[in-house]
Amino acid sequence: MQITQLSRKNIQALTPYQSARRLGGKGDVWLNANEYPISPDFNLSARQFNRYPEAQPQAVIEGYARYAGLSPDNVLVTRGGDESIELIIRAFCELSDSVLYCPPTYGMYSVSAETCGITLKTVPLTADFQLDLAEIERQLDGVKVVFVCSPNNPTGGLIKRSDLLKLLQITAGRAIVVVDEAYIEFCPEATMTNELANYPHLAIVRTLSKAFALAGLRCGFTLANPELIGVLQKVIAPYPLPVPVSDIAAQALQPQGLAEMRQRVADVLKNRQWLIEQLQKCSQVERVFDSEANYLLVKFKDGQKVFQALWDQGIILRNQHTALGLANCVRITIGTPEENQRVVQAISELS
């Protein structure tokens, strides 16, 4: 008997998340994972590693609560935002329940649900990448968790606040609504944190991987009301955060770290504007979609050709050709000014 055949049927059938790293490539310009292009510098202050860490390190919880304008009992710290996504599914979904999400969007909602053996329901975004609320409402039977990403990865735009509020109303008492705010630092006024007081079934996913430039740290958060946080506390691993991770996360959430993050955001917005203007001059470019995040979704006349040509030159972008409704689209992370120039140069050379 093969070991694979001993694994659960849904794991045998599972296509793992195609992370940017896993897809490989030999590049010197990495613009495929929405990382910040330059690392911040930290020194470890922790010197003791013989004891288990705090389950929910106080300095990180208090630092993030202060930053988010919430109270510490609204905050759960996790191994990246990805662990928050999985915890919510594990804690709330029976095997007979389903998870609903709206493609094209972040791939981990489906991978996490499939890993847990939970049924998926999809309600595609409308042509302008907004929620199809009427269809979501029709599909709600048996749905326990709804995932919405805003700004949406990979399309880049925000989901209308009025639609998020309607979604919260139609799901009240029935399902958890997860608003994934992985990119909210690039448009902080759009956050839903101020709605937590009104909706006990709202959970917000956050991360230090994007604007905080700490993807290598693996640190994320769930923001919710204390009752929902308490449910997740029951299923999270006993010591999720290694001491070096909480040490650096706490430093990143100090006033100095927050000021550096806000400077990074300002730089990204400036470089994004430059990149939009340059791309719009390229004959290969059909459309640059509006973005509120640190990446641009771009539709080309021949997206496959653009993606491959840049890949061959060591410029690694994220191909979206097979994502729902995104034929010939490529997602480009905003890099350093030099990296952005390389992208524009390479694209403009393709006639």
Q: Which is nearer to ligand PLP, 82 or 339 (CB)?
A: 82
Q: Which single residue is written with the structure tokens 């890993």?
A: 115
248-266 burial by CB neighbour count: b if 16+ within 10 A, else e? bbbbbbeeebbebbeebbe
- Residue closer to ligand PLP by CB (options 206, 342) is 206
Looking up tokens 């998340």 gives: 17
| Residues that bind ligand PLP in the complex, under the rule CB under 6 A | 34, 80-82, 106, 149, 153, 180, 182, 205, 207, 209-210, 215, 220
Q: Which residue is nearest to ligand PLP (CB)?
A: 80
Give CA 76 to chain center in angstroms.
Answer: 17
Q: With respect to ligand PLP, which residue has the nearer C-beta, 156 or 342?
A: 156
Helix (H) / strand (E) containing 122: strand 119-122
For tokens 């770290």, the residue is 257
Min CB(293)–ligand PLP separation in Å:
9
Closest to ligand PLP by CB, 219 or 347: 219
Please, which residue, 33 or 350, has the CB nearer to ligand PLP? 33
Tokens (6 digits) for 97: 């329940």
Output the CA angle 224-67-70, nearest 5 degrees: 35
Task: Tell the smallest beta-carbon distance from residue 244 to ligand PLP (Å).
Answer: 17
Find the shortest distance in angstroms from Cβ 183 to ligand PLP. 7
Smallest gap from Cβ 210 to ligand PLP, in A, equals 6
Q: Nearest 5°: phi and psi at 347?
A: -70, -40
326, two tokens: 């995104």
- CB of 82: closest distance to ligand PLP in angstroms? 3
